[in-house]
A and B are shown apart, each in its own frame.
Chain A
Amino acid sequence: MSDIAIKADCLSKHYRLGAASRQHNTLRDHLMHRLRGLTRWGGGRQESNPSFWALKDISFEVKRGEVLGIVGHNGAGKSTLLKILSRITQPTTGTADIYGRVSSLLEVGTGFHSELSGRENIYLNAAMLDMRREEVRRKFDEIVAFSGVEAFIDTPVKRYSSGMYVRLAFAVAAHLEPEILIVDEVLAVGDASFQQKCLGKMEEVSRSGRTVLIVSHNMTVIEGLCERAILLEKGRVAKIGNTHEVVEGYADAIRGLAGTEIEARHDREGLGEILLTRIEVMDTQRHPVAAAITGRDVVIRMYYRCAAGKEFLNCRVSISVNGRKAQDLFVLSTDIVDPKPLTLRGEGYVDFIVPELPLTGGAYFFQSYIESNGHAQDWIKNVAPFSVLDADYYGTGKLCPPGWEANGVLVRYRWEAGETGSTAALPIRARAS
C-alpha cells in the first residue's frame, strides 16, 4: 500500500456535447432560454443537450518510481485524464488518491509575464507550480545556468527570442523535483534539442525514483521509457499492462478504426450510392501497418461498395490528409494524376501509392470524398486517423530548424550557392537533398 503514487478509482468525466456553442454564453441567451422554458411557447421544447462521457470508470494504480505511458487516439480521453490528475478539472464521479507533489511539463512557460524580467519570471512561475521561494533561491543559479540566458536575466522576457523563452521556462519546470511528473506530448512541440532535453530529463527523473506519467503519440518514446502503459479507447481503459502489449493493442486499434468503424459512420454527406467502407495504410508489399514512416513509400487503400446492380461512370475517388488543426495538407485524387475515366461497380478498392511520404512524425487525419458524374456520393471528414512515425527524411540526421516545421509537410529540394562579386561568377554546387 505504501508504495502507491497514484490510485484512480472509477474516474469518470461527463461533458455536454458542443459545450462551446450550445451553452448560453451571453446573459440574453440564458434569459431567453429560461423564459421559453417557463412559457413553453414558440417551439420551446426542452432541448436535451447531447452529452458524452470523456472518461468512464477509469481505475488503475501507479507505483512510486514507475514510468507509465498513456496511449490512445485523439479524443480517447488522455488529456482529460491528465487534467483530472493534475487537478485542473474535476471528475464527475470517482476518486483518485495522489501521494506526492504533482507537476506537469505541459505547463512550460504558462504564467510567464512578458513585462517582467527573466529573474522575476522564475519566481513567478515557480510559485505557480507550487515551488517555495526558499527552494527557488537555493536553485536559482542552477536554473539560470541550465537555461543559458544568464546575460539577459534582468531583461523583460518580451525581448527574449522564442528559443530563450522556452529554455528559461523549461529550466524552471526541470528543477521542480516533484514526486510525480506528468508529460503531455511535449515531444510534439519545440525543436529537436528541446525534445532531447525533455527526454533526458524524463529519464533522469524516473531514475531518481520519481513517478512519471507520459502521454504521447510517439510509440518509440513510450516503448523506450515505460515499463507499463494504459490504452484508452473512447474514455475507457481498453488495455493495461506491459508496454509492448499495449502498444500492439494500440496498433490493432488503429487498424480496427480504419476497418470496421467507417461503415457505422453516420456523419457522411452525399447520395450514398457508393460508400467508403474501409481505409488501410500499407507498406509497398501491401501489408497493413499501424503507422506510416516519414520518407518511406506508403500505400493508402480505400475500399468502396457500390449500390447493388449499379454501375457508376466518371468517378473520382480522393483522400486528403489533414493536420492537427484540421487544415488540408495535401489531396490525393484519382482524376488529377490520371485523367482516364474511372468506373466503379460492386466492391473494390483504390490504392494511392505515395513514394517517400513527405510528412513529419505525428497524428494526422484523413478526409475522404467519392463522386460520380459530378455528384457527391460519399464525403466523410476526419474519417480515420493517420499516424506517422518520424524518421530521417533527408538522410542527413538533421531536422527542421526550430519553429520552421510548418504543418508537418516536407519537400525534397537541393540548393546551390554562387558568387556575384567582380570576378566572373563560378557557381559553387552543393547538394543537400
Chain B
Amino acid sequence: MSALTADQRPSSTLPHVRIQPARGLLDLDLAALWQYRELIYILVWRDVTVRYKQTLLGVAWAMFQPVATMLIFTVVFSVMGKIPSDGFPYPVFLYAGLLPWFYVSQALSRGGTSLVGEAPLISKVYFPRLILPLSATIAPLVDLVLAFVAFLGLMAWFGILPTWRILSLPLFAALAATITLAAGLWISALYVKYRDVGHILPMLIQLWMFVSPILYPVSKVPESWRALYAMNPVVSVVEGFRWALIPGFEVDFTMFLPSLGVVFVVFVGGLIYFRSMERTFADVI
C-alpha cells in the first residue's frame, strides 16, 4: 500500500534539496525546470484550452482574428493609403508580417503579465518561476500554427505556391519565441515590482508594431536609418517569415546580425534579472 513508500526507502534515494540564499548571477537550475516539465506542458495546455472555452467559434478565432485584421488593414493602408508592398499582393505581404506579429504581441502581453496574473500561486506554491513566462511564450505558438493554416488558404486564393523555403519557418518562429521570452523575462519581473508596467505594456506593443515592417516594406525605411532599424529583432522575424513564405521575396540577411546580438544581450540580461528578482517575488507580489 501507500504506506510502504516512505518508510522503507533509504534516504539516499529520496530527493534531496538544499535550501539556501541564492548566490551567483546565472544560477539557472535547469534540473528543476526539467523536473517540472509536466507543469510547463499543462500550463500551455491550460492557456490554450481556457482561451477558447465557452466561445462559439472556438479555435477558429485564432484564424478569424488575423484574417479580419488583414482585411481591414488592406483596405486602410493599401486601397486608401497606397502603401507599396515591393510588388507582391498586399494581402499576402501583410499577412506574412501579421502572422509572426500576432504571435509576438500575444506572447508578450501574456508573458509580461504571467507572474502578476498568478500571484496567489506564487505566494503559496513552489515551482521554478521561470515556468510562468516560459509557458506563456509557448502557448500562443498554437495560435500561430492555426493562423498559418489560414495563410495557406490565402496563398491558394492568390495562386501562389510555396517553395522549399517554407521549411525554414520553424527557425524564424523559434527566433520570434526567443525574442518574446527575452522581453517577457524583463517585463514580467519588472511588473512584480512596478505596476506601471501594466499601463506601459499595451503602449509598448503598439509602438513596437509601428517600428516593425508589418504594414510597410523595409524599402520604405530611409537608408540612413536602416542600421538603427535593424536593431529591432522583430524586423528579422518579419523579414524571415516573408522570405520563407513568399516566393521571390528577397532579404538582406546581413540585417539580421545586429538584431541577433540584441536578442542575445536582452535574453541573458533578462535571465540574470529574473533570477535575481525571483528571490523576492513571493515577498513583494
Contacts and interface: CB of A to CB of B under 8 A. Distances in A.
Interface of A: 2-4, 15, 19, 23-28, 30, 64-65, 83-102, 106-107, 110-111, 113, 115-116, 120, 123-124, 127-130, 132-133, 156, 177, 179, 207-210
Contacts of A19: 283-284
Nearest to A23: B284
Interface in B25-43: 35-36, 38-39, 41-43
Given A96-B19, A132-B38, A2 B11 contact: yes
8 contacts: A65-B6, A89-B280, A98-B17, A101-B15, A102-B17, A130-B36, A133-B42, A208-B5
Nearest to A101: B15
Residue in A4, A26, A207 whose Cβ sees the most chain B Cβ within 10 Å: A26
Given A19-B283, A24-B194, A209-B3, 11 more contacts: A86-B126, A87-B17, A89-B279, A91-B19, A96-B19, A97-B17, A97-B19, A100-B14, A113-B46, A127-B39, A208-B2
B142 interface: no
A89 B284 CA distance: 10
Interface stretch (B47-55, B85-93, B94-102, B263-271): B47-55
A85 B125 CA distance: 11
Contacts of B7: 64-65, 208-210
Contacts of B12: 2
B126 A64 contact: no
Contacts of B122: 88
B3 A208 contact: yes
B21 A120 contact: no
Interface residues on B, range: 35 or more
A128 B19 contact: no
Contacts, number: 141
Contacts of B123: 88
A116 B50 contact: yes
A99 B11 contact: yes
Given A64-B7, A107-B124, A110-B121, A95 B18 contact: yes
A88 B194 contact: no
Contact of B42 (A88, A127, A156, A177): A127
B155 interface: no
A85 B124 CA distance: 12
Interface in B247-285: 279-280, 282-284
B64 interface: no
Given A26-B195, A100-B14, A177 B5 contact: yes
A123 B45 CA distance: 11
A60 to B, nearest CB: 14
Contact of A99 (B16, B20, B121): B16
Contact of B10 (A2, A28, A177): A2
Contacts of A177: 2, 5-6
Interface in B195-238: 195-196
Contacts of B43: 127
B5 A89 contact: no
Given A64-B7, A96-B19, A111 B194 contact: no
A98 B16 contact: yes
A281 B24 CA distance: 52
Nearest to B196: A27
Contacts of B193: 23, 25
A88 B16 contact: no
Interface in B41-87: 41-43, 46, 49-50, 53-54
Contacts of A27: 194, 196
B120 interface: yes
A23 B193 CA distance: 9
B167 interface: no
B35 A130 contact: yes
A110 B125 contact: yes
